[in-house]
């Protein structure tokens, strides 16, 4: 009997002979309890559970060993339902759910997938489920997912079944806004920063790396651009209608008309009454610059935010500027910034990605971030001092804070 032919261009196909028995469920329980960090990595999801008033953190996991976990988040409405967006290197993207604090998992019975086009357009295919956002407090069970390529999906049953948001996915300008499929980012071109106005479930925002910021006032039925004031990274026109790259955007829950974003071209703030983005990163030290991925807000102080700058000079190393890691904090909505680096190594060369910085809601706010070299750092004094909470993990894609009730 001949061996199977190896398809051209492929390699290292799994041998056809008998393999040793496999544990089909390669999960270490996450065991979420109380204040917990969820850490999505290139090789699975971990948790860090705080103990003794955050003086120590216990590492659990990984669940989904070997799976690429882009985002893991606990529903803040029930403080129990955990959703994880993942895929492997080659298996299709999907969503898993846990309602027992990360002990057992159920896959979404209908993961995010594009609808077949109604016209002769080529079918779109979800490559990555990149971003998960729990819906409005008045809509329990509603979640949104952003994918690469730029798809928006909604679930009304706590992440079990997902349906395309046709107002975006079938928008007549979709191809114009999302650009040439051949020029997508190496890690995909996702929808991210899906934001729900806490005053109105119908009012939403999201960002894309191809067009910029979008807003909807009717729960996704219609979308318009919100780019005025930003600088475009490419093209001869620095202020085109679209073609901007917000890396991470957030709004303040107590002041929902105040938006911040860490953009490919700087740090911006928008007060809706001003109707334009203001580059508050111009107030950062010139030698550090204002390029980066994440931005996180103080949950009670709308004028306080943290960023983690990266080197955006010449070929864009995207590591800590000068190899000197530092968080920068503003307490005046970006008019001034303070360097916070106590506890960091003198030299380090990692990157902090857009979903990898988060804050808790304790009296003295905890700020946390994960790095591309597999470390998780935390501060329990609002950034004044830092300590490494975990090391030797895989490349970190996301860090979220959960407050779990058992």
Q: Which residues bind other proteins (CB under 8 A)?
A: 1-5, 7, 10-14, 16, 18-19, 21-26, 88-92, 94, 107-109, 111, 113-116, 123-126
Name which of 100 and 381 has its Cβ closer to other proteins: 100
CB of 88 to other proteins, least distance (A): 6
- Taking the C-alpha atoms of residue 380 and residue 34, their distance in angstroms, rounded to an integer, is 16
- Taking the C-alpha atoms of residue 291 and residue 317, their distance in angstroms, rounded to an integer, is 11
Name which of 111 and 212 has its Cβ closer to other proteins: 111
Reduce the DSSP state of residue 35 to 3 states and report it.
strand
CB of 78 to other proteins, least distance (A): 24
Name which of 3 and 237 has its Cβ closer to other proteins: 3
- Taking the C-alpha atoms of residue 29 and residue 36, their distance in angstroms, rounded to an integer, is 13
Name which of 7 and 172 has its Cβ closer to other proteins: 7
CB of 379 to other proteins, least distance (A): 32
- Sign (positive or negative) of CA dihedral 317, 319, 324, 327: positive
CA 178 to chain centre: 19
Q: Print burial letters for 72-110: b (CB count within 10 Å at least 16), e (below 16).
A: bbbbebeebbbbbbbbeeeeebbbbbbeebbeebeebee
Name which of 8 and 236 has its Cβ closer to other proteins: 8
- Taking the C-alpha atoms of residue 199 and residue 185, their distance in angstroms, rounded to an integer, is 34
Tell me which DSSP letter residue 132 carries: E
Name which of 6 and 222 has its Cβ closer to other proteins: 6
Q: Quick check: 195 and 181 in contact, CB under 8 A? A: no
CB of 174 to other proteins, least distance (A): 16
CB of 252 to other proteins, least distance (A): 37
């Amino acid at each position: 009997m001949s061996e199977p032919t190896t398809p051209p261009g492929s390699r290292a196909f799994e041998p056809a002979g008998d393999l040793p028995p496999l544990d089909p469920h390669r999960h270490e329980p996450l065991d979420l309890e109380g204040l917990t960090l969820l850490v999505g990595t290139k090789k699975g999801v971990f948790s860090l559970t705080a103990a003794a008033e955050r003086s120590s953190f216990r590492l659990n996991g990984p669940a989904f060993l070997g799976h690429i976990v882009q985002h893991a988040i606990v529903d803040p409405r029930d403080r129990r339902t955990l959703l994880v967006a993942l895929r492997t290197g080659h298996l299709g993207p999907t969503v898993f759910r846990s309602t027992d604090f990360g002990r057992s998992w159920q896959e979404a019975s209908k993961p995010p997938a594009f609808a077949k086009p109604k016209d002769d357009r080529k079918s779109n295919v979800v490559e990555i489920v990149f971003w998960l956002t729990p819906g409005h407090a008045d809509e329990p069970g509603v979640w949104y997912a952003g994918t690469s390529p730029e798809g928006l999906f909604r679930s009304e049953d706590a992440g079990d079944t997902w349906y395309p948001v046709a107002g975006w996915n079938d928008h007549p300008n979709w191809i114009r806004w999302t650009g040439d499929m051949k020029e997508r980012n190496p890690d995909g071109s996702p929808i991210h920063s899906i934001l729900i106005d806490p005053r109105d479930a119908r009012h939403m925002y999201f960002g894309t790396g191809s067009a910029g910021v979008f807003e909807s006032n009717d729960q996704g039925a219609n979308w318009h651009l919100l780019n005025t004031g930003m600088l475009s990274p490419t093209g001869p026109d620095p202020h085109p209608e679209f073609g901007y790259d917000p890396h991470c955007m957030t709004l303040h829950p107590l002041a929902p008309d105040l938006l911040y974003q860490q953009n490919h071209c700087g740090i911006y703030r928008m007060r809706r009454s001003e109707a334009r983005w203001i580059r508050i990163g111009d107030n950062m030290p010139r030698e550090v610059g204002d390029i980066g991925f994440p931005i996180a807000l103080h949950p009670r102080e709308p004028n306080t935010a943290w960023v983690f700058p990266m080197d955006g000079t010449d070929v864009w190393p995207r590591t800590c500027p000068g190899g000197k890691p530092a968080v920068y904090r503003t307490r005046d909505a970006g008019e001034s910034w303070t360097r916070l680096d106590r506890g960091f190594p003198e030299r380090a060369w990692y990157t902090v990605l857009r979903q990898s910085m988060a804050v808790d809601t304790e009296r003295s706010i905890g700020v946390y971030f994960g790095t591309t070299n597999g470390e998780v750092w935390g501060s329990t004094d609002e950034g004044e001092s830092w300590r490494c909470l975990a090391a030797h993990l895989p490349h970190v894609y996301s860090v979220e804070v959960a407050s779990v009730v058992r």
